[in-house]
Amino acid sequence: MISLAGRDILHAWGKFIFTGVGLGLLIGVTLIMAGVYRGMVDDGKVLLDNSGADLWVVQQATLGPYAEPSSVPDDIWRSLLTQPGVAEAANITYLTMQIERGEDDVRAMVVGIAPGGAGTLGWPRYLVAGRQITRGHYEAVADLASGFQLGDYLTIRRNQYKVVGLTRRMVSASGDPMIFIPLKGAQEAQFLKDKDAILMQRRRTEANPALNRPNLPGLLEAVLASQTTNPSVNAVLVRIKPEYLPQAVAEPIERWQRFTVYDREQMEGILIGKLIATSARQISMFLVILAIVCAAIVAFIIYTLTMDKIREIAVLKLIGTRNRTLVWMILQQALVLGAIGFVVGKITATFAAPIFPKYVLLLPIDSIIGFVAIQLICTLASVVAIRMALKVDPAEVIG
Amino acid sequence: MSIQGIQIENLSKRFGEGDTAVFALKDVNMQVAPGEVVGLIGPSGSGKSTLLKCLGAVIDPTAGRMVLDQQVIYDEGWKVGDLSALRRDKIGFVFQSPYLIPFLDATDNVALLPMLAGVPNEEARRRALELLTALDVQHRAKAMPSQLSGGEQQRIAIARGLVNQPPVILADEPTAPLDSVRALAVVRILNDMAKRFNTAVIVVTHDEKIIPTFKRIYHIRDGVTHEEVGEGRLPT
Ligand SMILES: Nc1ncnc2c1ncn2[C@@H]1O[C@H](COP(=O)(O)OP(=O)(O)OP(=O)(O)O)[C@@H](O)[C@H]1O
Ligand SMILES: [Mg+2]
End-to-end CA distance of chain B: 38
Instruction: Note the pLDDT of residue A137.
Output: 66
Does any CB of chain B come closer than 8 Å to the CB of residue A97?
A: no
Averaged pLDDT for residues B130-143: 91
Half-sphere exposure of residue B143, counting CA atoms within 13 Å on the CB side?
14
With an 8 Å Cβ cutoff, are B116 and A321 in contact? yes
Environment class of A322 (CB within 10 Å of its CB; exposed 0-12, middle 13-18, buried 19+): middle
User: What is the number of helices (H) and of strands (E) in chain A?
Assistant: 12, 12
Q: What percent of chain B has pLDDT over 90?
A: 58
For residues B39 and B206, the answer to whether their CB atoms sit within 8 Å is no
Write the DSSP assignment of chain B as a string of letters. ----SEEEEEEEEEESSGGG-EEEEEEEEEEE-TT-EEEEE--TTSSHHHHHHHHTTSS--SEEEEEETTEEEEETTEE-S-HHHHHHHHEEEE-SS----TTS-HHHHHHHHHHHTT--HHHHHHHHHHHHHHTT-GGGTT--GGGS-HHHHHHHHHHHHHTT--SEEEEESTTTTS-HHHHHHHHHHHHHHHHHHT-EEEEE---TTTGGG-SEEEEEETTEEEEEE-------
What number is the average pLDDT over the span B160-171?
Answer: 91
Rounded CA-CA distance A17/A10 in Å is 10
In chain A, the residue whose alpha carbon lies closest to the alpha carbon of B48 is A399
Q: Using CA atoms, how far apart are residues A339 and A371, in angstroms rounded to an integer?
A: 8
Regarding the beta carbon of B150 and ligand 1, being less than 6 Å apart is answered no
Q: List residues of B whose CB lies inside 8 A of any A CB.
A: 48-50, 52-53, 56, 58-59, 84-89, 93, 95, 99, 101-104, 108, 111-113, 115-118, 121, 144, 160, 172
Burial class (CB in 10 A: 0-12, 13-18, 19+), A391: exposed
Nearest to B196 by CA among B22, B16, B37: B37
| Cβ separation B52–A397 shorter than 8 A | no
- ipTM (interface pTM): 0.89
**pLDDT digit string, tens, across residues A76-126:** 989 899 988 999 999 999 999 999 887 888 999 999 999 888 888 999 988
Quote the pLDDT of residue B100. 93
Residue-level pLDDT at A173: 83
- What's the predicted TM-score (pTM) here? 0.79
Question: In angstroms, how far is CA A78 from the centroid of its own chain?
Answer: 33
Dump pLDDT digits (tens) for B172-185: 988 887 788 888 88
Domain boundaries, chain B: 6-96+167-229
Closest CA to B150 of B186, B112, B203: B186
- Can you tell me the distance from the alpha carbon of B140 to that of B145, in angstroms, rounded to the nearest whole number? 10
- Cα–Cα dist B131/B133, whole Å: 5
Q: Of A231, A108, A115, A118, which is closest to residue A174 (Cα–Cα)?
A: A108
CA atoms within 13 A on the CB side of A269: 6
Ligand 1 nearest atom to the CA of residue B206, by list position? 25
Q: Is A130 left (phi over 0), alpha (psi -120 to 50) or beta?
A: left
Kindly report the number of other CB atoms within 10 A of residue B117's CB atom.
15
Nearest to B87 among A11, A312, A319 (CB): A319
d(CA A56, CA A50): 13
Per-residue pLDDT tens for A165-175?
Answer: 999 989 888 88
Q: Residue range A357-380: average pLDDT?
A: 91
Cα separation of the two ends of chain A:
30
Q: Is residue A55 predicted with pLDDT exceeding 60? A: yes
Nearest-CA residue for ligand 1 atom 31 is B45
Residues 303-342 of A with CB under 8 A from B: 311-312, 315-323, 325
Average pLDDT on A366-374 reads 92
Query: In Å, how far from its chain's centre is CA A191?
Result: 27
CA–CA gap between residue A75 and residue A290 (Å, rounded): 52
Q: What are the tens digits of pLDDT across the range B58-67?
A: 999 999 999 9
Q: What is the pLDDT of residue A194?
A: 72
Q: What is the mean pLDDT of residues B216-222?
A: 93
Q: Residue B58: which of A4, A312, A318 has the nearest Cβ?
A: A318
Q: CA-CA distance, B179 to A39, in Å (whole number)?
A: 72
Task: Please report residues of A whose CB lies closer than 8 A to that of B111.
Answer: 2
Candidates A308, A318, A398, partner chain B, best to mutate (most B CBs within 10 A): A398
Q: How far is the CA of A399 from the centre of ligand 2 (A)?
A: 4
Read off the pLDDT band of B136 (50, 70, 90): confident
B71-82 pLDDT, tens digit each = 999 998 898 888
What is the overall mean pLDDT for chain B?
A: 90
CA A110 to chain centre: 17
The long-range contacts involving B143-148, CB below 8 angstroms and separated by at least 24 positions, are B143/B105, B143/B106, B144/A11, B144/B102, B144/B103, B144/B104, B144/B105, B144/B106, B145/B98, B145/B100, B145/B101, B145/B102, B145/B104, B145/B106, B145/B109, B146/B102, B148/B100, B148/B106
The answer, yes or no, to whether the previous bond of A65 is cis (omega within 30 of 0) is yes
Q: Is the CB of B22 under 6 A from ligand 1?
A: yes
| DSSP 8-state symbol, A104 | E
The rounded mean pLDDT for chain A is 88
CB-based burial label for A21 (10 Å; 0-12, 13-18, 19+) = middle
Percent of chain B surpassing pLDDT 70? 99
Distance A393 CA to ligand 1 centre (A): 15
Q: What is the pLDDT of residue A294?
A: 85
Put simply, the answer to whether A399 touches B52 (Cβ < 8 Å) is: yes
pLDDT, position B2: 56
Containing A382, the helix (H) or strand (E) segment is helix A364-391
Mean pLDDT of A194-200: 77
Instruction: Quote the CA–CA distance of A117 and A126 in Å, as a whole number.
Output: 12
Q: Predicted confidence band at B1 (pLDDT cuts at 50, 70, 90)? A: very low
Residues 6 or more apart whose Cβ sits within 8 Å of residue A311:
A397, B99
pLDDT-based confidence at residue B36 (cuts at 50, 70, 90) = very high
Query: What residue of B is the nearest CA neighbor of A397?
Result: B95
pLDDT value at A357 more than 60: yes
Q: Over 60: is that where the pLDDT of B158 sits?
A: yes
* DSSP-H helix ranges across A208-276: 219-228, 246-257, 264-268
The verdict on a CB contact (< 8 Å) between A320 and B172 is: no
Residue of A316, A318, A392 best to disrupt the B interface, most CBs of B under 10 A: A318
pLDDT tens digits, residue range B85-129? 899 889 999 988 889 999 999 999 999 999 998 999 999 999 999
d(CA A142, CA A166): 5
Asked whether A97 and A254 are in contact (CB, 8 A), the reply is no
- Alpha-carbon distance of B195 to B33, in angstroms, equals 11
3-class SS of residue A78: helix
Render pLDDT for A203-218 as a digit per residue (tens, 0 to 9): 888 888 777 777 777 7
Which of B11, B12, B15, B23 is the pocket-test mutation for ligand 1 (most atoms within 8 Å of CB)?
Answer: B15
Superfamily of domain B6-96+167-229: P-loop containing nucleotide triphosphate hydrolases (3.40.50.300)
Nearest residue to A141 (alpha-carbon basis) of A171, A168, A163: A163
Going by C-alpha positions, the residue among B77, B83, B47 that lies closest to residue B62 is: B77
Residue A228: per-residue pLDDT = 67
What would the mean pLDDT of A127-135 be, rounded to a whole number? 88
Indicate if ligand 1 lies below 6 Å from the C-beta of B15. Answer: yes
- Which candidate from A2, A8, A398 shows the least CB-CB separation from B58? A398
Helix (H) or strand (E) holding A191: helix A183-191
Which ligand lies nearest to the CA atom of residue B15 in the structure?
A: 1
pLDDT score for B104: 94
